[in-house]
Structure 1
């Protein structure tokens, strides 16, 4: 009888051992953090990269704006005049002002591809354009550069300085959301930095 009970008890032990293991397995949360992270990783990194890209673009636009103000001040006080500064020298000096974050090659100075500067003088402030020149009426159209000039005025004249820079967004996932120029031909879209100022030159000699 004892042998029969012992045999029955021995036969039931594997089942007893399996039950706690199955219960423990059902209650186990090992790996749940990894699964949750995998589900949240894409939106998390999307937000992180969006913050970084937006911050860099904002910093670059502020740098561009400061360069426009600096060069305009030199024009207003007579340090830069049509007689002593040509377009190449002006672009070179402008590139020096933004070199902390934005680099201009010799080719870029001579033939604009990313940095475009429009310097013109007007008879009145009312004649100064107030909108970004674009190639079409689309809100995401590229800038129209054919009318850009370098025609600074002399003493007492009314002038406008506009600068545009095509800032390339690095993160592919973010590009469709923060770019403001999206060509219809499928070429690379970018964030267009804009800085502009209007002023009247001092009555310098």
Structure 2
């Protein structure tokens, strides 16, 4: 039922003219709800992708560690060394082999490999390397690459720099700066007897 002001054709004046009006209430309510909704949605998607990538990295580190434990990587390095490959080239080759086990959505350029060996479990250095970046935002660390020999305890650590999307709402997911999260998968095992 129309009010007296509406029937007479006169416009309403003052605060009373907007109090009963509900024409834009739905759009205002939507505007208030949509931003937090999309923030939570982005956080859920980002966290899910990180966990999914963590599991993929765990699978890759197990494959890389298996090649070390069985002596396959050491045999390949012995062959490479005898053909003139430098230690840096051997490390790059091991990294490329680890990259081959990553899923297609993970870039090999963001993978860091750290391999350490020790003669006993107590002598193993399991400390996490500090990742530093150059002026262009690329990691500039020299990581360990020591496969050890038969009976050695070997630590294989794959680290992946996962880019965090939605930069204004990083929601505490960034842990190494440059808008990235360092995802780490580690395997420690004693090498088998191999020939």
Where on the TM-score scale, by shorter chain, does this alignment land: which range? 0.7 to 0.9
Tell me the residue number matched to 1:8: none
Please give the secondary structure, in 1, of the residue aligned with 2:168: coil
Gaps of 5+ in 1: 1-13, 109-113, 137-142, 183-187
- Find out whether 1:152 has 2:154 as its counterpart: no
- Find out whether 1:124 has 2:117 as its counterpart: no
Distance 1:72 1:134 in 2: 22
Cα distance, 1:169–1:34 mapped onto 2, change above 3 Å = same
Task: Give the structure with higher Rg (CA).
Answer: 1
- Find out whether 1:49 has 2:39 as its counterpart: no
Deviation, structure 1 residue 127: 2.1
TM-score, length of structure 1 as denominator length: 0.72
Distance 1:15 1:76 in 2: 88
Deviation, structure 1 residue 102: 0.7
Distance 2:130 2:19 in 1: 62
Tell me the residue number matched to 1:191: 181
CA RMSD in angstroms comes to 2.9
Distance 1:134 1:116 in 2: 12
Please give the secondary structure, in 1, of the residue aligned with 2:61: helix
Deviation, structure 1 residue 53: 0.8
Distance 1:17 1:34 in 2: 27
- 1:99 is aligned, of 99, 103, 106, to 103
- Find out whether 1:87 has 2:91 as its counterpart: yes
Cα distance, 1:90–1:35 mapped onto 2, change above 3 Å = same
Gaps of 5+ in 2: 81-89, 133-138
Please give the secondary structure, in 2, of the residue aligned with 1:125: coil
Deviation, structure 1 residue 167: 1.1
